[in-house]
Structure 1
Amino acid sequence: MNATKYAPADLLRSALAADPARPLVTFYDDATGERVELSVATFANWVAKTANYLQGDLAAGPGDRLALLLPAHWQTAVWLLACSSVGVVAEVGGDPAAADLVVSGPDSLEAARACPGERVALALRPMGGRFPQPPAGFADYAVEVPGQGDRFAPFVPVDPGAVALAVGGEELTGTAIGERALADAAAAGMPEAPRVLSGLPYDTWQGLSYGLYAPLATGGSVVLCPRPELMDADGAAAREAAEKITFRAPLPLS
């Protein structure tokens, strides 16, 4: 890939220009049997809608801090790129009480209530389904986002040198995310345009790099299997073959 800018939103634009139809994020939930595959174009559309919601309805802007209380999931990947598009700092596993707004999964709603700002909840149900009953005090992402615009333009230009991500006690700028992801891919020996299988959680830089940023930066794709304990060795091998995996993140899937 010949992208000269390394901030995640720029990497996504480059991927969209290069080949919008290729897969980018594939997600498995072996507890429910769910499999979701998003092409670059579909993923970018979700990012645009989420960024419009973040910037418009939630009134978030550059420098605001968003506590992201979500597991490794395709919708989490969408939120990470949406934050980058708007200039909001995504604090993975951040303290809701100290954040400007919070995005929570169904298992962290009580902790998320400590946020004094806007609160958004994701049911993380198959096909991006909504909550049967919206949790009190939260907007339901699945209700609010589908009607948002399919194109996004920030009200304020995003500085790629500003902090964009906080994870594991470390803060990275937008540019540093892409540069470090490329370095990780090279150090790990990822092939060109890799098809990466990752069972790593999203609560560390390594998990985010293998599970999103490195595949994005190298023109590849990722298959997220965030519950590796549910798969035996034969199942893992079958999935690798079916998904045409060319690189496996360093975590046993059995």
Structure 2
Amino acid sequence: MNANDRTPADLLRSALAADPARPLVTYYDDATGERVELSVATFANWVAKTANLLQGDLAAEPGDRLALLLPAHWQTAVWLLACSSVGVVADVGGDPARADLVVSGPDTLQAARACSGERVALALRPLGGRFPQTPDGFVDYAVEVPSQGDRFAPYAPVDPDEPALAVAGAELTGAEVVARALDDAAGLGLSAGARLLSGLPYDGWDGLSAGLYAPLAAGGSVVLCRHLDRLAEGGLEKRVEAERVTVTAG
């Protein structure tokens, strides 16, 4: 990062300027065998497309609240940074009935229907695949996002001192997210090039920080693992070695 980074989106821009080719998010789902690796450039492209969808097609504005009903997943990380890019508050696990729009995985569609605003559904299938049939009342993220622009510019500047993230009863500004991520990175001993493996869920700050914000702030990368309990004996040690992990969390 640099001294001018005040929001998570700023951290991503700095990472892109520093080394776009390095890995940023490597995702494993040990229930399906899926592995996806995204470089900084590829991840930033997904964020730009998602932010364009959010600001353009979904008409989201700074200060709007988005209920994010997704597990720890690489696409969840994309949505977190897209919200930061637009100035939308990402309310992780938030009440859809109190949100301006909702983004839901396949297991929370019924709850997501309580949102009276725009509803986006993610199938969370390997390689970002779409639903076989779009859920009624939702737009399918995998259908809508590919045609979005590869570069994003917000209609209005994002204020780092406005709310940006809500999780587990706490609400943080963009500047607070960055500050806490930097503190966590220092506490974990992360530095540029570090590889952090996290099996923590995205339902609290610790999981979000280890699974995205702290490695991003440090100039490192994350190996984000879901369903680690499905790994065979010795599987975690093999993954740590294969992925050149330097720090583990959860």
User: TM-score w.r.t. structure 2 length?
Assistant: 0.98
| Corresponding position: 1:24 with 2:24 | yes
- Where does residue 48 of structure 1 map in the other structure? 48
- How many Å apart are 1:189 and its aligned residue? 2.6
- Aligned partner of residue 13 in structure 1, secondary structure: helix
Instruction: Map 1:134-153; keep pairs closer than 5 Å.
Output: 134-153=134-153
Secondary structure of the corresponding residue to residue 137 of structure 2: coil
Instruction: Give aligned-pair identity as a percent.
Output: 76
In structure 2, the CA distance between the partners of 1:192 and 1:149, relative to structure 1 (3 Å rule), is: closer
- Establish whether residue 131 from structure 1 lines up as the match of residue 109 from structure 2: no
CA distances 1:169-228 after superposition (whole Å, capped 9, x unpaired): 000000111110110111223344310000000010000000000000000000011111
SS of match in other structure, 1:47: helix
Residue identity matched to 1:215: P
Kindly indicate whether the alpha-carbon contact (under 8 Å) linking 1:87 and 1:159 is maintained by their aligned counterparts in 2. Answer: yes
Letter in 1 for 2:74: W
Q: What code does the residue aligned with 1:148 have?
A: Q
Give the whole-Å Cα distance in 1 for the aligned partners of 2:235 and 2:33: 13
The match for 2:35 is: 35
Measured in 1, the distance between the counterparts of 2:18 and 2:62 equals: 28
Question: 1: distance between equivalents of 2:194 and 2:172?
Answer: 24
Structure 1: unaligned runs, 5 residues or longer: none
Task: State whether structure 2 residue 180 is matched by structure 1 residue 180.
Answer: yes
Partner residue, 2:231: 231
Say yes or no: does 1:243 pair with 2:246: no
C-alpha RMSD of the superposition: 0.9
CA distance in 2, matches of 1:34, 1:188: 27
CA distance in 1, matches of 2:224, 2:86: 25
Deviation at residue 233 of structure 1 after TM alignment: 4.2
Structure 1 pair 244/94, CA: closer, same or farther in 2 (3 Å)?
same
Q: Contact 1:196/1:221 (CA < 8 Å) preserved in 2?
A: yes
Count of aligned residue pairs for this structure pair: 250
Contact 1:185–1:214 (CA<8 Å) still a contact in 2? Answer: yes
User: Which range moves more in the overlay, 16-25 or 192-201?
Assistant: 192-201
Cα distance change on mapping 1:165 and 1:36 into 2, 3 Å: same
Query: d(CA) in 1 for partners of 2:213 and 2:226?
Result: 16
Cα distance, 1:3 vs. partner?
Answer: 4.2
Alpha-carbon distance in structure 2 between the residues aligned to 1:199 and 1:233? 16
Structure 2: unaligned runs, 5 residues or longer: none
Post-superposition offset of 1:82? 0.1
Report SS of the residue matched to 1:2: coil
Q: Distance in 2 between matches of 1:28 and 1:109?
A: 23
**For residue 223 of structure 1, what is the amino acid of its counterpart?**
V
CA drift at 1:154? 0.3
**Residues 24 and 216, structure 1, Cα contact 8 Å, conserved in 2:** yes
